[in-house]
Structure 1
Amino acid sequence: MKIGMQTWGSHGDIRPLLALAEGLQAAGNEVHLVITCVDSAVYEEFVSVHGVRVSVLASPVLLPVQQERIAEFAYGIRNPFTQMASILGLCFAPVEDIMFAAAQRLVAESDVLIGHFFMHPLQIAAERAGKPYVSVVLSHSTIPSAFKHPAGLPFLGKTGHRLLWELTRLLLNRALGHYPNRLRRQLGMPPAKDIMTGVWLSESLTLLGVSPQLCQAQPDWQASVRVCGFLDMPNLDIEGVIPAALRAFLDAGEAPVYMSFGSWMPRDPGGQARALRLLTEAAHRAGCRAIIQSHSAQDCGFVSDQQILYIPTAPHHLIFPHCRAVVHHGGAGTTQSATLAGKPSIVVAHIGEQEHWGGELRRLGIGAKPARRRSVTAAALARRIADVLASPSMAAKAGAMAAAMKNEDGVAEAVRLVMERFGPAGSSQAA
């Protein structure tokens, strides 16, 4: 098949789609992946192992100074719907028309379309052309169920949950519905009835790229939603390797705690210095060695020593296995990478979805009580780190979960589901 794919976001939104594209290409398909990266132009250098055609579009969306202003603005907003609308307005809307034009070209050349669940331009173009569309969802927090509270709180009863999801649906459509509906009007299409079930999920096939160790399918999910597992892949050349200084630091003492806010780490000197002070003081208070990921710590006045090493970047799946625990922002990719490495997490959430992941890790017994970036102090973060490091049971649970995840192959399962549904056998059965 000719398969067109499109994604938008940071590294955590792009890597899973790259992994799936490689798997589909290796299975004999002709894959074209269009990438729009919010904060980097690094994918211009990407070379596919299996020959995937990769096009990079309007990347980076934001300059470093814009990234910092938006990040600080976003994690200061308490209302999750306002927060999500603000992020889309600042990071998605400026390139929406460019991505929509690319989506229509992609649809014209493809048999099947696969998109990141935020990629309503591709979903609309595929629907207009009458071509099958697959949504890739990276978190189960947005899939309605009477068996689950929308905010991940304790069970309140199915009736209560239905009412809360209806309220969530109403507020979400009010905050975000104008985005897909503006493009639908351009093509003479009726407005979308619901963002969650009509745009983010596909009635044909929705791939939930989350390990079944972290997420169980709910009885009332629509039949098209399939938990395929973590969409992981081997180390990419653009991600680099473990540098000599990092290897020497690991060999020089006890295993450290890795600390990273990922794409949410500020790039401007002032914001970066504040984040570095928070993480550095927390590490000192917790009495642990630490690796702190920062774009330019030395320019902010922070110098590595025997207790703390500051690095600009490191491939997570290579470094996490050498650490005792991971302090991170709670992105879907980082969460699953830390869990796959068998390490407990301390989540410092910047936005609502990250709070969801922090809550899930705590529920599973492999994470501390999540903190919020807008209010966390070094003392509070240090207490969470110390509690995690002093818990053999948490380390054991994380190790057991990692062992189970290593038996999974999310990409292979996702490829199987796509081929089963849309490949020659699936197409003939549908006909």
Structure 2
Amino acid sequence: MATSKGTHDEPPVSPYSDLPEVVQDDFLPSYDSVVRNDLLRQTTAVRDDGRIDVDLNSRFCRTLSRFIPDVKTPLSELDTPSPQYCAELGGSPVSSWFPIKLNIVIQVVGSRGDVQPFVALGNELQKHGHRVRLATHNVFDSFVRDAGLEFYPIGGNPSELMAYMVRNPGLIPSLKTLRGGEIQRKREMVAEMLNGCWQSCLEPDLVSGRPFVADAIIANPPSFAHVHCAQAMKIPVHLMFTMPWTSTTAFSHPLANLKFGEKAGMSPETANYVSYSVVEWLTWQGLGDVINDWRKSIELEPVPVSEGPLLAETLKIPFTYCWSPALVSKPRDWPSYIDVCGFFFREPPNYTPPTDLADFLAQGPPPIYIGFGSIVIDDPETMTKILVEAVRQTGVRAIISKGWSNLGGVEEKNVFFLGDCPHEWLFAHVTAVFHHGGAGTTACGLLNGRPTTVVPFFGDQPFWGEMVAASGAGPHPIHHKRLNVQNLSEAIRFCLTPEAAQAAAGLALKMKAENGVVTAARSFHANLPLENLQCDILKDQPAAWMWKRGKRQIRLSKMAAGVLFQHLKVDPKKTYLNETKVIRIVNRRWDPVTGTTSALLGTSTDMAKATADVVMKPIRTYQQRKAADDAMNELARSPATGSRPATIPHGTAPHGRGCMSTAGALASASASGVGGFFKSYGRGFYLDIPLAVTEGFRAVPKLYGERVPEQEPVEDWQSGARVAGTNFVRGMSEGLSDLVVQPYKGGKEGGALGAAKGVGKGLLGMTSKTVSGICSLLAYSK
């Protein structure tokens, strides 16, 4: 088992550290009103290798650290441990049977190595009777269908995506990328994939035409649409990934380099936790506006800028990590709805090697394997020379995979350049593996007990390289830009040592006792809301409708509802959509200053847009009318059948009436802009801003470590009145009591100095809580 405390180094200043100053408005969102670009610039810098230097002494990091859970909390006070199914090793060919047959869509963005584990998961879910659709890039159509799964294309080109990620790891664009316009094409690709993911939840099968509506969503985080699709459809969503995506004190974000200054004032554990927030903020800054524009198209409100980062954590979305707990154990601060279940392995394919490969293997001792899979290498010729020369100097035999970069073109008797070949078969015939560090390739090599060297390019690859090194099964990773004949030769010699072979064999023994796919299926089923999902009549079908019969509510599947409708046992007017899992995104406030400022700027932006619409809407309306008139005139002038002139279609207005109609449409469009202005003004100054003030003051105690209780969602005037009354009573009572309680607690823990601090906390608590309580009567009761 290996653990890591993150990368805490002092790297040189990146030449791209001033990147936010040169980013054009077209490339980044315009709503970074609270966390400005200059604040993030002071916090982070992007290095040449795309990793992110996080300055822990910055104001942004210090502010985030105040919201980190106490890492010294006793284990008994943490969330309950993972259910027993996660501790079980191995398992039957089919995990414990799930009673309901669901339509499940699996949304995956990435390379074939990212898609392949979910193919294995889909096949496992099919054993439970589920209908499984895998939605991913168009190029994987045959790969998915050949595995027996339904396929839905979401667009996007994985080779372009991989090439972009190599040049811009972590979605942080370099100056060269910005000048070339590549970031804009990447954003367009993300928009296309968002639409594709939404359609994959609703559209019929493109081959058979069989209708499909998803009952649940499984997704990897880079698909980005998962939570939003689930919110719109009110169905459960479960995330699965091979890369740490959840904040933890155990290790830093795989893309972050933590820089401790003299005044950082935070422990390494807290710094690890903060690194996830910083990377999430940067990613959301680049894609948040694309996601929010798409949300409008599916009738969802935009996600507030403060909620977009770490959205899955805030909503407590179930998460399954697809790596072996023998390699990286589950961090102790991850809650029970997050599991580490083991790597996903597919059934080994039937494979017969071509004659030339079989002959090469038989001609000498087992070779090593070198390959970079779907990675697109900028200079494949130079890479080939490095690999061949290292093999020559170490005196080993090697199989080098050509991959997407088409390595090769060099004649060497001890080197065999290989095309496509399943790793499950190949790795059983080699002595060590050298690759890019994709989770699937890493898992396959370790399962076969092969010492491993990782040459990372981007993403989670450095993370896996460090984990392998920590286990003793390989050397520290060698970044592809630093790869040369000397360090590769040293890595080859390391992997051929008895110590590396013994460490790899120990890991393989533990991994063979696990069954990641079966355990992941258990994790998925265990986190489903069974009480809201099951039909009350046909127990093996999911409920789609709710029927209210007197005071009783009965959940009905589509089939049960159809039968009851047909036989007049149920009035369709008394049924409504069953909401299996309701997701509410609440705009949480950090403090009254940023909360009020954010609401004020948001209101000002909406009013400015509405003011512009007073002019722009009539222009757009005129252009649309003119285009329609031009098309009609063209139709009137076009030759008709025979020698008779073309006639104007029935219903076309005379010219004078058409002009009046156009003028009326223009006036109506302008009036809608005026209406939008007053609507934005009313909502902002009578709802959003008072609510921001109330919740901002309510959040103040978090700044000095006090827990602020959650409150029920406000959906109507009744729930609003309850929340207002509860917050008023709590605010007044706790605010006044803080004047006594806080100095007493401070004095008991820290003597006179603690008592003085307690007086300050008491005064601050009294002010914030009473103001929040009074304002809540106005903010929540509307």
Q: Same fold (TM over 0.5)?
A: yes
Q: Which residue of 2 aligns with 1:410?
A: 516
The structure whose RCO (Cα within 8 Å, separation 6+) is larger is 1
User: What CA distance in whole angstroms lies between the structure 2 residues aligned with 1:299 and 1:328?
Assistant: 13
Aligned counterpart, 1:355: 462
- Written as runs of structure 1 = structure 2, the 5 A alignment for 1:232-243 is 232-236=345-349, 241-243=352-354
Contact residue 293 and residue 310 of structure 1 kept, 8 A:
yes
Task: Tell me if 1:252 matches 2:356.
Answer: no
1 CA distance for matches of 2:125 and 2:315? Answer: 19
Name which of 26, 48, 54 aligns with 2:151: 54
**Superposed, which structure 2 residues align to 1:275-424 within 5 Å?**
275-295=383-403, 301-303=409-411, 305=413, 307-389=414-496, 391-422=497-528
Aligned partner of residue 201 in structure 2, secondary structure: helix
Question: RMSD between aligned alpha carbons?
Answer: 3.3
Check the 8 A contact 1:242/1:319 in 2, yes or no. no
Letter in 2 for 1:287: G
* Counterpart pick for 1:7 among 108, 112, 115: 108
| Counterpart check, 1:128 vs 2:241 | no
CA distance in 2, matches of 1:89, 1:242: 42
How far 1:423 sits from its partner (Å)? 7.7
Which of 136, 143, 163 lines up with 1:35 in the alignment? 136
Residue 374 (structure 2) aligns with: 263
Q: Is 1:144 aligned to residue 241 of structure 2?
A: no
CA distance change for structure 1 residues 297 and 422 in 2, over 3 Å: closer, same or farther? closer
Partner SS state of residue 294, structure 2: helix
8 Å Cα contact 1:258-1:323 kept in structure 2: yes
Give the AA of the match of 2:332. P
Task: Identify the match of residue 172 of structure 2 among 75, 78, 82.
Answer: 82
3-state DSSP class of the match of 2:333?
coil
* 1-structure distance, mates of 2:313, 2:383: 33
Q: 2:142 aligns with which of 32, 44, 56?
A: 44
Query: Aligned residue for 2:218?
Result: 114
Report if aligned partners of 1:133, 1:202 keep a CA contact under 8 Å in 2: no
Task: Report the Cα distance in structure 2 between the residues aligned to 1:282 and 1:91, rounded to whole angstroms.
Answer: 38
Structure 2 residue 336 is the aligned partner of structure 1 residue 223: yes
1:370 is paired with a residue whose SS is: coil
Structure 1 pair 98–300 and aligned structure 2 pair: CA distance change class (3 A): same
Superposed CA deviations along residues 160-206 of structure 1, whole A, max 9, x for unmatched, are 33344443443343344344333234433231645563148973421
CA contact (8 A) 1:10 1:263 kept: yes
Q: What residue number does 1:159 align with?
A: 270
- The separation in 2 between residues aligned to 1:129 and 1:279, in whole angstroms, is 51
CA distance in 2, matches of 1:175, 1:366: 37
Q: Say whether the 8 Å CA contact 1:126–1:132 is kept in structure 2.
A: yes
Tell me the equivalent position of 2:318: 205
Letter in 1 for 2:149: V
Give the Cα separation in 1 of the matches to 2:407 and 2:477. 30
Q: Shift in Å at residue 57 of structure 1?
A: 4.4
Q: Residue 93 of structure 1 corresponds to which residue in structure 2?
A: 187
Q: How far, CA to CA, are the matches of 1:276 and 1:166 in structure 2?
A: 39
2:127 and 2:146 map into 1 onto residues whose CA distance is 11
Superposition deviation, residue 92 in structure 1: 5.4
Match of 2:705 in 1: none
> Are 1:6 and 1:103, in contact at CA under 8 Å, matched by a contact in 2?
yes
Task: Indicate if the aligned counterparts of 2:108 and 2:115 stay in contact, CA closer than 8 A.
Answer: yes
User: How many Å separate the matches in 1 of 2:216 and 2:114?
Assistant: 20
Distance 1:303 1:124 in 2: 52
Matched-pair identity in %: 23
Show structure 1 runs of 5+ residues with no match. Answer: none
Unaligned runs of 5+ in 2: 1-101, 203-212, 259-265, 535-579, 582-782
> Could you say which structure has the larger radius of gyration?
2
SS in 2 for 1:262: coil
Normalised by the length of structure 1, the TM-score is 0.84
Aligned partners of 1:74 and 1:26: how far apart in 2? Answer: 35
Given the superposition, is the C-alpha separation of residues 61 and 315 from structure 1 closer, same or farther in structure 2, using an over 3 Å criterion? Answer: closer
How many equivalent residue pairs?
412
- C-alpha distance in 2 between matches for 1:298 and 1:354: 21
Cα distance change on mapping 1:183 and 1:223 into 2, 3 Å:
farther
Query: Is the Cα contact below 8 Å between 1:75 and 1:373 reproduced in 2?
Result: no
Shift of 1:74: 4.9
From the superposition, tell whether residues 255 and 194 of structure 1 become closer, same or farther in structure 2 (CA, over 3 Å): farther
What secondary structure is seen at the aligned counterpart in 2 of 1:31?
strand
Deviation at 1:289, TM superposition (A): 0.5
Deviates more, 1:334-343 or 1:79-88: 79-88
Instruction: Tell me whether 150-159 or 177-186 shows the greater mean CA deviation.
Output: 150-159
Structure 1 SS opposite 2:374: helix
Alpha-carbon distance between aligned partners in 2 of 1:61 and 1:374, rounded to the nearest angstrom: 22
Higher strand share: 1
The DSSP-based 3-state class of the residue aligned with 2:249 is: coil
TM-score by length of 2: 0.48
Distance 1:211 1:15, change over 3 A: same
Distance, in Å, in 1 between the alignment partners of 2:156 and 2:167 is 26
Distance 2:434 2:157 in 1: 26
Q: Is the 8 A contact 1:113 1:134 kept in 2?
A: yes
AA partner of residue 82 (structure 1): I
Question: Distance between the aligned counterparts of 1:74 and 1:133, measured in 2?
Answer: 26
In 2 relative to 1, CA 313–345 (structure 1 residues): closer, same or farther, beyond 3 Å? same
Distance 1:409 1:425, change over 3 A: farther
CA distance in 1 between counterparts of 2:489 and 2:187 reads 38
Q: Deviation of residue 102 (structure 1)?
A: 3.0
Q: Which amino acid aligns with 1:213?
A: A
- The change in CA–CA distance for 1:241 and 1:196 in structure 2 (over 3 A counts) is farther
**Corresponding residue for residue 79 of structure 2:** none
- Residue 285 of structure 1 aligns with an amino acid whose one-letter code is Q
How far, CA to CA, are the matches of 1:299 and 1:330 in structure 2? 18
SS in structure 1 opposite 2:222? coil
Q: Spell out, residue by residue over 1:16-52, the C-alpha distance to the aligned partner (whole angstroms, 9 max, x if none).
A: 1111111101121111111216xxx354254445x42
Q: Which residue identity is paired with 2:172?
A: T
For 2:288, which of 177, 184, 204 is the aligned residue? 177
**Maintained 8 Å contact 1:75/1:351:** yes
The Cα of 1:416 is off from its aligned counterpart by: 1.5
